[in-house]
Amino acid sequence: SDEDLARAAIEDILKDFKNPTEESLAPYLDGQDTSTFDEYGIDAYEFFCNCFKRLDYTVNDVAVDGDTATASLTITNVDLTAVVDEVTTEFGNDPDSFMEGIDLSADDAINQLMQVFFDKIYEKIDTTDQFVTNDVTVTLTKVDGEWVMDDSCIDDLVSAMYGGIEL
């Protein structure tokens, strides 16, 4: 049925993020601006895989009306705002622990520091018990027989997938 096909289209997308790999995320990141990551020597795929590795979701109700479908989703992920806040606080309280082993006179000292910062974020993502659950409604349109998620709902979905962090 159209309801099943629309549900499957949503599930296909969310499965790619729930089990993130460079391969599964590549279609979504292709053409995205990752220059900030590149500038600091951070692997964008490593970042996204870490952010989504504890993601969970439920596709609740799917309602179809002709070539339009609406689906309510429940998205749960690590509270990334809390994770970043904790690491930032740790850095502010004990910057020396972040700089241990970094040659501050090296040309790439900032990159080394950023790598330590991100490694601490990844560690917190692995160990935190703070999660956020968000309900999101997405719309899909049937295009050439395929259900495609509308661009208008992408921001809300992505925000929920990032644990509600302000992007």
- Report CA 56 to chain centroid distance, whole Å: 11
6 vs 35: CA distance, rounded Å? 34
167 pLDDT exceeds 80? no
pLDDT of residue 107: 86
Average pLDDT for residues 9-37, to the nearest whole number? 90
Cβ partners under 8 Å of residue 29, min gap 6? 44, 45, 48
Q: What per-residue string of b and e applies to 9-47 under the rule 16 or more CB within 10 Å gives b?
A: bbeeebebbbebeeebbeeeeeeeeeeebeebebebbee
- Report CA 21 to chain centroid distance, whole Å: 12
Tens of pLDDT, residue by residue over 153-166, are 888 898 899 886 76
Tens of pLDDT, residue by residue over 26-83, are 988 888 888 889 999 999 999 999 999 999 999 999 999 999 999 999 999 999 999 9
Question: Residues, the chain, total?
Answer: 167
119 vs 109: CA distance, rounded Å? 15
Q: Please state whether the predicted TM-score (pTM) of the whole model is above 0.85.
A: yes
